[in-house]
Chain A
């Protein structure tokens, strides 16, 4: 038994530890699957790596033999698996079979685009969803509540690629407001970010609405009104703070939608990010690239989830009863 602050610190440590364990599992799953993938593809892996490194050379057989000895491809499979997981743990991701560049270098370039897209989508969804949920929850059964419910059902029935396509058709082709594809300026980012934000806001607006409706029924809110606090103060001080907790903690689940959506939306809008690279690596069967990009997306997911955990802990430091 410790004092209250140290108990809070302990819980924070546990949260971070659980997410670090998850990050380790992401590495393990991606590493093992890609290890199997290299062996399952037809042809000699040593030959393929040699060709990726030195190009289709005349003395490729010698080069392949050298690669085999260097990478230990003649060793037993379990030893090789151990070695390749060890390499992964040191973040040595190897070279792309297609471009020949180090994976870490490619990822560093792509990470910027992915972070911009996911960050602006998340910010936009928080600007759209919770305010609508607040209005709907304060007047249950009102027109905002009914309209946002209908909108949420429709948006959740649209896969991100269909939604993105509709936005392109309306905003790019019909109205000519934003470019349909490309990357560079904020105008290019508008439609892909909006595609993801609408999907996220469809859920977060309903979560916020239910949270606000739950707070609106509590005795302390009735008391705050009865003691004569102005409505703006009631909303700001009592409703917003208490309703924020479920909305933020639900973001951890929404991170899955965000990461999966980023892969699809980047491919649809031609944004040179990690998700786009992952899809193209799958098509080209560039295994080191598949491994690197899947690992980066998986770790991004873990980082977002950990940030949400810590934000929840900061908002509501009471220990959870489990």
Chain B
């Protein structure tokens, strides 16, 4: 093994906060603020119908207009953003926690655990993730359960593999060996030696997994196997409003722009400029 005797290159001392990361974080902050405070400030039920205001243009009584049932677009977009953020966070947390813990355990203990986990991840990776989610959705179409389970089931593998490889490399280093011989405990080694090495790549991975989850949930809802229309889900909203494109083109585009900004923010926030 060539990694065993090579000392790790120190994390670059360059400023972490590049302009693109700053823009991404600012964008995510604004969207989070919109998702969290929107429902409080607007205080309109996203399913309250007002047929007099059907397809009202932005401006007038409704700040961003109203959809075909006269429901406030602002309220629906805020709830949709909150739903996308919430579901993506839940899914990624469910994938990341077991993925990272199992990765650390496999790197630390090795043996049969490593072989079993390797087999399980190979089996799950044989099929593209979306196909697995679609088969699971056949159990209960239109519900969040199989969507959540399928996404978490495909996303944990990346966390497991990356943690396993990176932590395995760190644990082979001479300074870890020295620390262990000096009598420091497992938790100290994990906390002060392994965690700082794997943290940056895990943050990038989480952002990547979140955008995968946001795209998958909105896409599956748009092809009507994900969440169903009364729910203010961004993908479902686009398809619901599409028949009214001729009268209200902006209404169709708004949820799409919101999905775009969410994913763009996540991408920019973790972009590394390797020039």
Contact = CB atoms under 8 A, between A and B. Distances in A.
Interface of A: 22, 25-26, 28-30, 33-34, 37, 40, 140-141, 153-154, 156-162, 165-166, 169, 173, 210, 256, 259-260, 263-264, 267-268, 278-279, 281-283, 285, 287, 290, 294, 297-298, 301-302
Interface in B107-142: 122-124, 126-132, 134-139, 141
Contacts of A22: 126
B91 interface: no
A259 B130 CA distance: 9
B134 A263 contact: yes
B259 A162 contact: yes
A290 B123 contact: no
8 tightest A-B CB contacts, nearest first: A25-B126, A260-B130, A157-B264, A157-B263, A159-B215, A267-B223, A162-B256, A282-B138
Interface of B: 122-124, 126-132, 134-139, 141, 211, 215, 218-219, 222-225, 235, 238, 242, 245, 249, 252, 256, 259-261, 263-264, 267-268, 271, 274-275
A33 B137 CA distance: 11
A5 B271 CA distance: 42
6 contacts: A26-B126, A37-B135, A259-B131, A260-B130, A287-B138, A302-B126
Contact of A282 (B123, B215, B225, B271): B225
Contacts of A162: 238, 256, 259-260
Contacts of A297: 128, 131
A165 B223 CA distance: 12
Given A33-B132, A169-B245, A173-B245, 15 more contacts: A25-B127, A30-B135, A34-B135, A153-B268, A160-B219, A161-B235, A162-B238, A162-B260, A165-B242, A259-B130, A263-B131, A264-B223, A282-B134, A290-B134, A298-B127
A294 B128 CA distance: 10
Contact of A159 (B123, B139, B218): B218
B264 A290 contact: no
A194 B267 CA distance: 23
Nearest to B257: A162
B225 A283 contact: yes
A301 B128 contact: yes
A157 to B, nearest CB: 4
Nearest to B274: A210
A210 B275 CA distance: 9
A259 B128 contact: yes
Nearest to B249: A169
Contacts of B264: 153-154, 157
A157 B267 CA distance: 7
B141 A283 contact: yes
B250 to A, nearest CB: 12
A166 B245 CA distance: 12
A298 B223 contact: no
A294 B150 CA distance: 15
B224 A283 contact: yes
A279 B245 CA distance: 24
Given A159-B219, A298-B126, A298-B128, A37 B139 contact: yes
A180 B141 CA distance: 27
Residue among B136, B222, B223, B271 with the highest chain A CB neighbour number at 10 A = B223
B223 A278 contact: no
A36 to B, nearest CB: 8
A228 to B, nearest CB: 30
Given A153-B268, A264-B219, A29 B128 contact: no
A298 B124 CA distance: 12
Contacts of B252: 165
A160 B222 CA distance: 11
Contacts of A157: 211, 260-261, 263-264, 267
B126 A156 contact: no
Nearest to A261: B130
Nearest to B235: A161
Given A156-B267, A283-B141, A287-B138, A29 B132 contact: yes
Contacts of A256: 128-129
B59 to A, nearest CB: 22
Given A165-B256, A285-B141, A279 B225 contact: yes
A30 B127 contact: yes
Contact of B138 (A25, A28, A263, A285): A285
Given A162-B256, A282-B225, A260 B128 contact: yes
B145 to A, nearest CB: 13
A5 to B, nearest CB: 28
A21 B259 CA distance: 38
A18 B136 CA distance: 26
B71 to A, nearest CB: 21
Contacts of A282: 134-135, 137-138, 141, 225
Contacts of A259: 128, 130-131
Nearest to B136: A33
